Structure 1
Amino acid sequence: MSMDGSKRSDASPARVSSALRRAWSHTRDLLPAASDYRDLKRTWRGDLLAGVTVGIVALPLALAFGVSSGAGAEAGLVTAIVAGLVAAVFGGSNVQVSGPTGAMVVVLGPIVAAHGLGVLGIVCLMAGLIVLVAGALKLGRAVTYIPWPVIEGFTLGIAVIIFLQQVPAAIGVAPGPSSNAFLAAVEAVPTARWPELGWTLAIVAVVALIMVFAPRIHPRFPGSIVAIIVVTIIAVVAALPVDTIGKLPAGLPAPTFPGADWAVVASLVGPAAAVAALAAIESLLSARVAASISDTGPYDADRELVGQGLASIAAGFFGGMPATGAIARTAVNVRSGGRTRLAAITHAVLLLLVVSFGAALVGVIPLAALSGVLMVTAVRMVSTATVRSVVGSTRADAIVFVATALITVSFDLIYAVLIGIAAAAFFALRALARSSGVHREELPGPAQPGDERIALFRLEGALFFGAAERMLERVGDIRGIEVVIIRMSQLQILDATGAQVVTELIQALERRGVTVLVKGIQTRHMQLAERVGVIKSLRHHKHLFDDLAPAVEHARSHVRRAAEASESAAL
């Protein structure tokens, strides 16, 4: 007795020690390491240049996304600096660039409108904590289950919303009262007045033209920043009657803990969860794209979530907004030569220098110029070639793509993704069910008397909840049969519902006096078949076969014995 207790006592500390080692190993994988910068000696020049390039591209976007969200240009800059730096250090990608994005602006706009600007810090903390916990729980790979048509439909919907959100500023008026971007844009149009309308549209047009033609001058020509500089100089010199960003503080604000009572926190659980879901999805998609277009190796999805969660939490302390990985800025980083985290860190430092020493200059930028930048950005988010590919692939994929885009624009981004995934799953299961089959086959070898009383069925493909009922109807309707052989060796997928239907079928046939023989249950399916009751439902344990020939011979002998018994009874 004491010996057994001693063994248990020795085993328990060993299990605890093993669990602690696994926990520490997982935690260590989520933390920064010296290996993050192992290529720095070789790539630092390219990283610095790429960081400066990305910083120039990110400046107008950070300003524009901050203004568009309702939080203000300062919040956009703070997010790009603080979140960009934290995510670069703690994230799971070597080349990911994080900050405010269009998708996040679309989600934050209604939250700020409904709860006020004061809740933004709390939303940052709550959403960041959710994303952080998701990374710690190893949920990073979940994004791989989002189908391609859903991602593209989501992107198209976001692009449309971003463009519509810029219409009021582009015509020099406040947005309409509706929370829907399309309705708000329509409501804003009648309030436009001349000459402000002419000047703002001219600014938007100049910005758009410069950004469109800039790549023709040089692929790395910073069209957006040049466009903003040009129209700002014109607006200041000509004293144009247009709205500007306004005064900005020089440098980062002091960190503070966002204050809110528990009632407010409770009301923000849903919005924070939506923000967290979007931050996780967009960041992981961006990291995956970066890994596919760079030679910096794969990304760590779980660590990326931890980094993005910490980034949003840090941004909340400094008055910023939730951050995500930015696909466009990350692509610019890779194409500009960024290969390590130094590039994203440099981008954040450059923006900090701009805020510290150029806040006065930034404040005179016309809001219409930022609208022009975002309108062009929204158009560039949509690839016509990709849209044609999705729509022209299959009807199911086209339906999922269009539905996701329409729901994104009309209702809610997160609902759009969830409904899109559900629709894609439905079509995938339907296709899988159609690929499964139940086929009646001829018995092998020369025909023998009594073969007409034996039915051989081959199950193939997938026998799961979406296809099981069809098999039950197909086999269960047979008449005038004494023995049924069910071949399961070609069955690739078997779930609990499929196994239960096979059990019910065997029991139903046996009640009718039909002997059922099962051939070829695969080893990987055997445990499930035993647990659900497929084996127990057979009349005899010898009615389970590994090969077809013995099963057919057993069926024929059964029919012969039945015929002999019938003749004897007749005599």
Structure 2
Amino acid sequence: MNFKTSLHQDWLSNIRGDVLAGAVVALALIPEAIAFSIIAGVDPKVSLYASFCIAVVIAFAGGRPGMISAATGAMALVMVTLVKDHGLQYLLAATVLTGLLQILAGWLRLGALMRFVSRSVVTGFVNALAILIFMAQLPELIGVSWVVYPMVAAGLAIIYLLPLVTKAVPSPLVCIVVLTAVAMVLKLDIRTVGDMGQLPDSLPVFLLPEVPLNLETLRIILPYSLTLAVVGLLESMMTASIVDDLTDTPSNKNRECAGQGIANIASGFLGGMAGCAMIGQSVINVKSGGRGRLSALVAGVFLLILVVFLGRWVKQIPMAALVAVMVMVSIGTFSWESLKNLRKHPPSSSIVMVATVAVVVATHDLAKGVFVGVLLSGIFFAHKVGRVLRVSSETAEEGNARAYSVVGQVFFASAGAFTSSFDFKEVLQRVRIDVSRAHFWDITAVNALDTVVMKFRREGAAVEVVGLNEASATLVDKFAVHDKPDAVERLMGH
């Protein structure tokens, strides 16, 4: 794709939709960013500057147009101990190192690892996030004035009913504007964005983290930076896959890894915390009509303008309006079809999906949930493939010889079944093992083949292995011992 085509497709093909969607995202980012700063134990401006910086940089450097990145709760949770024990400056240094590690991940093309994440894990990830987004709104709905409930209901009505009349303006934006106007005109005594924390009143400035440049500092920040890098990339890659599905367009995962790194380095040098892609804001962006890079740029720039220059108006936005928007995101994010598929899909797929949801919701840690999901997927896959192995045989030469035929995959999960399929006590002169319809994948498989051949030889039979495909033959030639002169001694441990 040449520059002119890329410029038009990513930046100019959907200007109106991207600008309006970016405005909605910027408004929804403010209370979340402030909440994340409270979680991390830092001043609200740290997360607001980070959200501005990351959104703007990722618009140019990221590999997934239409995806929103900023300060996130998953990253904030990792920072708590670092900030408490060592302070803000070490957090900024850790943020810069996080960015460097993510750039390294992009250079190593680790984005390709997403192909090992099954659809069941992605569905569980999405459902868990939808639940967490909804749960995050509960503090704004419990123990509050009764006025909040009709305000939230009115907001949801605007969000869902306005598109039936017109789609000229994103309904979440109309919801925020209308409810803010109502709250101001009626002077309603309800919680507003201003109650969340003090908004910054100046632009961010470039600064170097004030930490000693020595190995002790590296020892302190490296464990946190590694965790931040992994959590950030995992959440970003998963979000990119979800936006791929929502927009039916591809993304460059390796470029996204590097882009997240560049954005975090910039954030650290501008006094911001580390961040990553946000599933909730990305869904808001897509549902509001955002498709290109312009939406992320507008979200970042508009966010800064709102908090620095229009702070007195932003403070008046009722939290009820933003709760309505986030409830819409929660409902839209959850894969309701997955509930029906629990009966239709294989039990293993359903278990992976439910386990991913359960771990994420229980721990509020996306990385742990996805790790459990991927681990279970691997176990179920290995078990399933390991069972698809068949060894048949027939006698030849008046019963003095037997020909075995192996069909399937031989690897660590099926090696035991492979070995037990042969009768080593039968008195034979010759044994022929045809593996032309089999594949040997690992050292365990090669060892199993060694064991079979040597056991037959110990019983006095001449063994011939035929039909190895090129990949299997390479592995066997390199690691097998049954064709070596001292094979029997090696196997018997002499």
Taking structure 2 as the reference length, the TM-score comes to 0.84
Q: Is residue 182 of structure 2 the alignment partner of residue 230 of structure 1? A: no
Match of 2:268 in 1: 316
Cα displacement (A) at 1:236: 2.5
Cα displacement (A) at 1:258: 4.0
Q: Is residue 111 of structure 2 the alignment partner of residue 140 of structure 1? A: yes
The 3-state SS of whatever aligns with 1:248 is coil
Distance of 2:54 and 2:79 partners within structure 1: 20
Could you list the per-position Cα deviations for residues 421-475 of structure 1 after superposition, in whole angstroms to 9, with x for gaps in the alignment? 11110000011101122112365xxxxxx53232221111111111111121121
Distance of 2:133 and 2:283 partners within structure 1: 20
Cα displacement (A) at 1:503: 1.1
1:422 alignment partner, one of 367, 372, 375: 375
Match of 2:130 in 1: 159
Cα displacement (A) at 1:353: 3.6
Letter aligned with residue 311 of structure 1: A
Quick one: structure 1 residues 109 and 326, their matched pair in 2 at CA, closer, same or farther if it must change by over 3 Å?
closer
1:88 alignment partner, one of 38, 42, 59: 59
1:255 alignment partner, one of 194, 206, 224: 206
Match of 1:460 in 2: 407
Q: Which runs of 5 or more structure 2 residues have no equivalent in the other structure?
A: 488-494
Quick one: structure 1 residues 416 and 271, their matched pair in 2 at CA, closer, same or farther if it must change by over 3 Å?
farther
Quick one: structure 1 residues 374 and 290, their matched pair in 2 at CA, closer, same or farther if it must change by over 3 Å?
closer
Cα RMSD for the two superposed structures: 3.3
Letter aligned with residue 505 of structure 1: V
Contact 2:424 2:456 in 1 (8 A): no
Cα displacement (A) at 1:375: 2.7
Match of 2:76 in 1: 108
Cα displacement (A) at 1:502: 1.0
Quick one: structure 1 residues 539 and 272, their matched pair in 2 at CA, closer, same or farther if it must change by over 3 Å?
closer
Cα displacement (A) at 1:390: 6.0
Distance of 2:162 and 2:329 partners within structure 1: 14
Match of 1:280 in 2: 233
The 3-state SS of whatever aligns with 1:440 is strand
Could you list the per-position Cα deviations for residues 389-428 of structure 1 after superposition, in whole angstroms to 9, with x for gaps in the alignment? 4663211111111111101111232121112111110000
Match of 2:455 in 1: 508
Distance of 2:154 and 2:94 partners within structure 1: 36
Q: Is residue 306 of structure 2 the alignment partner of residue 354 of structure 1? A: yes
Contact 2:95 2:267 in 1 (8 A): yes
Match of 2:490 in 1: none
Aligned residue pairs total 474
Q: Is residue 361 of structure 2 the alignment partner of residue 409 of structure 1? A: yes
Match of 1:210 in 2: 158
* Structure 1 segment 32-181 matched on structure 2, within 5 A: 35-40=2-7, 45-71=12-38, 74=45, 77-93=48-64, 95-100=65-70, 104-109=72-77, 111-112=79-80, 115-116=83-84, 118=88, 121-171=92-142
Distance of 1:375 and 1:321 partners within structure 2: 26
Percent of paired sites with the same residue: 25
Match of 1:395 in 2: 347
Letter aligned with residue 501 of structure 1: A
Higher relative contact order (CA 8 A, sep 6+): 2
Q: Which runs of 5 or more structure 1 residues have no equivalent in the other structure?
A: 1-33, 172-191, 444-449, 541-571
Contact 1:84 1:99 in 2 (8 A): yes
Cα displacement (A) at 1:379: 2.3
Quick one: structure 1 residues 41 and 270, their matched pair in 2 at CA, closer, same or farther if it must change by over 3 Å?
closer
Report the more deviating stretch, 373-382 or 240-249.
240-249
Contact 2:406 2:435 in 1 (8 A): yes
Cα displacement (A) at 1:53: 2.0
Cα displacement (A) at 1:514: 1.9
Distance of 1:112 and 1:218 partners within structure 2: 44
Letter aligned with residue 351 of structure 2: I
Letter aligned with residue 381 of structure 2: A
Cα displacement (A) at 1:335: 7.7
Contact 1:459 1:486 in 2 (8 A): yes
1:536 alignment partner, one of 473, 483, 494: 483
Taking structure 1 as the reference length, the TM-score comes to 0.74
Letter aligned with residue 158 of structure 2: I
Letter aligned with residue 204 of structure 2: P
Q: Is residue 195 of structure 2 the alignment partner of residue 244 of structure 1? A: no
Cα displacement (A) at 1:333: 6.0
Match of 2:466 in 1: 519
1:373 alignment partner, one of 301, 325, 331: 325
Distance of 1:162 and 1:245 partners within structure 2: 18
Distance of 1:248 and 1:303 partners within structure 2: 33
Could you list the per-position Cα deviations for residues 8-67 of structure 1 after superposition, in whole angstroms to 9, with x for gaps in the alignment? xxxxxxxxxxxxxxxxxxxxxxxxxx9445343688653421321221221232113213
Report the more deviating stretch, 414-423 or 525-534.
525-534
Match of 1:484 in 2: 431
Quick one: structure 1 residues 387 and 80, their matched pair in 2 at CA, closer, same or farther if it must change by over 3 Å?
farther
Distance of 1:337 and 1:233 partners within structure 2: 24
Distance of 1:228 and 1:379 partners within structure 2: 18
Quick one: structure 1 residues 340 and 399, their matched pair in 2 at CA, closer, same or farther if it must change by over 3 Å?
closer
Quick one: structure 1 residues 344 and 245, their matched pair in 2 at CA, closer, same or farther if it must change by over 3 Å?
closer
Quick one: structure 1 residues 382 and 201, their matched pair in 2 at CA, closer, same or farther if it must change by over 3 Å?
same
The 3-state SS of whatever aligns with 1:243 is coil
Could you list the per-position Cα deviations for residues 145-194 of structure 1 after superposition, in whole angstroms to 9, with x for gaps in the alignment? 111111211222222122212211223xxxxxxxxxxxxxxxxxxxx3xx
The 3-state SS of whatever aligns with 1:451 is coil
Letter aligned with residue 172 of structure 2: S
The 3-state SS of whatever aligns with 1:166 is helix
Match of 1:3 in 2: none
* Structure 1 segment 24-39 matched on structure 2, within 5 A: 35-39=2-6
Cα displacement (A) at 1:310: 1.2
Contact 2:55 2:70 in 1 (8 A): no
Cα displacement (A) at 1:216: 2.6
